[in-house]
Amino acid sequence: MNTWLKACLAGSLLLSAPALAQADEDDPYAYPDDEAARATEKATKEDDDAYERRRKLVDETDEFREAAERENDDGFDKLSRLDDPNLGVAVELGGGLLLVDSARGDFSDNRPGLGVRATWEFGRSLDSEMLREALFADLRWLFASLSDGTDFIKGDTRLHYFTLAPAYLFRFGQSDFGFYVQAGAGLAYQNTGITVGDSETKVNGLKPVVQYGVGLRGRPALSRSLHLTFRLEAMGLRRGYANDIFFGGSAGIGF
C-alpha cells in the first residue's frame, strides 16, 4: 500500500513540473526598453503637472498685480501712496542777499531780499517711483528795495519778482536731502519814485524775467503726514539786460 502511494505521489510531481514551467514561460518578459519608456512617461507626466501648477501660480500673481495697479475706483491704491500719504505741498518763508545789477557801472547793489514760496511736488502724480521724489515746482514772490541820490534828488525803487519754476532733485541715496537744478520764468515789477525837491514822480515797469539756479533741499519728517522743509540756494534772475543774483535760504512746513 505504501509503495502504491509513493508511486502516485511521484507521478503527480512529474506531471506538475512541466505545467509550472509552461506557466513561467507564458508570463511577459519585462525588457529594459519598456522600463525606460515607462519611467520617461512618468517623469513627463510629473513635469506637466508641475508646469500646470506653476502656470496657475503665475496667472494668479499677474491678476493680483493688475488689480493692485488699477485706479482707486476699483478699491486699490498705489503702494507708494500708502507708504507716503503726503500731498506734496509746502509753504516756506525765505530771505537772503540780492545782488541787483547796478545801473551806475558797479558790479552790483547789494540789498536784503525777502519772499515767500509755495512748492508742489507734482512728481507724486506720475506713475514713476524715480520721478515721484525728483520733480517739484515753485511759485515764488521775492522783494527788494533800492534807494540812492542826494538830499535834493533821490530815487527809491522797489523790485517784485513773480516766478514759476520747475526743478529736478538728485537725492542723496534714500535720505530726505538732495541737490536740485531749477529753471523757470515769470514777471519782474519795478516801482520807482523819483523825488526832485518837493516833487515826486512815479515810474512803473513790468518786464519778463528768467529764473535759473541750483540749491540744496531737505524735507525731514516731523510726523507721518508733516515735514519740515528748507532750502539753501543760489539763483539768477534775468530781466531785460539786467542780471540779478540771489543767495539765500528758506524754511517752512510741508504736507
Contact, 209 vs 237, CB < 8 A?
A: yes
Indicate the CATH number of 85-254 among 2.40.160.20, 3.40.640.10, 3.40.50.620, 2.40.37.10.
2.40.160.20
- Give residue 65's Cα distance to chain centre: 19
Residue by residue, pLDDT tens for the chain (255 residues) are 555 555 555 555 545 555 444 444 455 555 555 566 666 666 666 666 666 766 666 555 665 566 555 544 444 445 555 556 678 899 999 999 999 988 776 778 899 999 999 999 999 888 887 888 899 999 999 999 988 877 778 888 999 999 999 999 999 988 999 999 999 999 999 998 888 877 888 889 999 999 999 999 999 999 888 999 999 999 999 998 899 999 999 999 998
The domain ranges of the chain are 2-68, 85-254
- Alpha-carbon gap, residue 185 to 239, rounded angstroms: 10
C-alpha atoms less than 13 angstroms from C-alpha of 196 in its C-beta half-sphere? 2
- Alpha-carbon gap, residue 121 to 138, rounded angstroms: 9
Contact, 169 vs 124, CB < 8 A?
A: no
Please count the other Cβ atoms lying within 10 Å of the Cβ belonging to residue 133.
20
Amino acid at 109: D
Amino acid at 152: F
* Alpha carbon distances (Å) from 41 to 44, 45, 55: 5, 6, 21
- Alpha-carbon gap, residue 212 to 182, rounded angstroms: 6
* Alpha carbon distances (Å) from 38 to 27, 28, 63: 19, 15, 38
